Copies of this chain bind each other. A is one copy, B any other.
Amino acid sequence: MNQIIFVAGGAGFVGANLVPRLLEEGAVVVVADNFCRGLRDALPHHERLHVIEADLADRAATAQAFEQAAALGPLKEVWHLAANSDIPAGVEDSDVDFKDTFRTTFELLRAMRAHGVKHFHFASSSAVYGDLGNQPLHEGLGPLLPISNYGAMKLASEAQASAAAESFLERVNLFRFPNVVGVPATHGVILDFINKLARTPDNLVVLGDGTQQKAYLHVSDLVNAMLMVRARNDSRKVELVNIGPTDEGITVRRIAEMVVARVAPTATLSFGQGNKGWVGDVPKFTYLTDKMQAYGWQPSVSSAGAVERAIDEIARQQGH
């Protein structure tokens, strides 16, 4: 009997890239998504793929989704990719990240305990580090003082999964994502810029002064990294890794220029003030990924290369 893999938030951007890889392995995949941002069409139609609409912040709905999954065969692992992805909305109302970013983790872990599911893979975030200035971010850094509710609830999720590893899980992988780009794009700076240019093709207004510099990873490299860590055969219950490019990132100004060059070459650029786009935005950070590299992983492209590739992919997605 095929083993069942449960992917929470699996119809979102990362899920749409991960799920086909899991299907290639021969697994039966159950995607549960609230379709707040996820799209059914982002996923392939496949006889081994089952898609459930469920709000995983809700205990009864999560229990029901697990019952449905368990009816298909032995539940082997849970990937948790569900979260609020609108950081400013989460800063405005703390309930947003409490529910969509943390409560989902909390309820998934409870359901896993009830069903005896032992493997948990979690999409955490560089946002857990907060704003540490120019200090390169490695996994051994503390204290972790996130500056957004999103980052706070990702850190809370890591912590709850870690405690679960002590009491009932066998294997927990915590992946601290950088900014990830690619398709199907549902949000993010590139899509925002392309959408803005669709409305005002002559001018692109950028929040902040454009000097914000961030590391970007292409989603294909992210999925490769996660699958590589998942395949580890050491005995540690909990692994926690930064996943990201090895370069220092790319500025928002450069991204804006590249988007303009691809979709509206005659448009001018306007910048705001300050190097934070919004409350909770971390202006610049450098990610250390030595742990990931020790797995033999390397990103196939740099931050600039990932952004360039994603701009082309998202431009096509948006009909350019």
Contact = CB atoms under 8 A, between A and B. Distances in A.
Interface of A: 91, 94, 98, 102, 106, 109-110, 128, 130, 139-149, 151-153, 155-156, 158-160, 162-167, 174, 238, 240, 279-280
B160 A147 contact: no
Given A106-B98, A142-B141, A156 B151 contact: no
Given A155-B159, A160-B152, A280 B167 contact: yes
A102 B156 CA distance: 9
Q: Sort A-B residue pairs by CB-CB distance and give the 9 closest, nearest first.
A: A156-B156, A142-B142, A152-B159, A147-B166, A145-B162, A152-B163, A155-B159, A152-B160, A143-B240
A80 B115 CA distance: 35
Contacts of A144: 142, 144, 158-159, 162
Contact of A147 (B139, B140, B163): B163
B143 A140 contact: yes
Contacts of A106: 94, 98
A238 B142 CA distance: 13
Contacts of A152: 156, 159-160, 162-163
A212 to B, nearest CB: 16
Given A102-B156, A146-B159, A147-B163, 12 more contacts: A91-B167, A94-B106, A130-B162, A140-B141, A140-B143, A142-B142, A144-B158, A145-B159, A149-B160, A153-B160, A163-B280, A167-B279
A163 B143 contact: no
A147 B146 CA distance: 21
A123 to B, nearest CB: 16
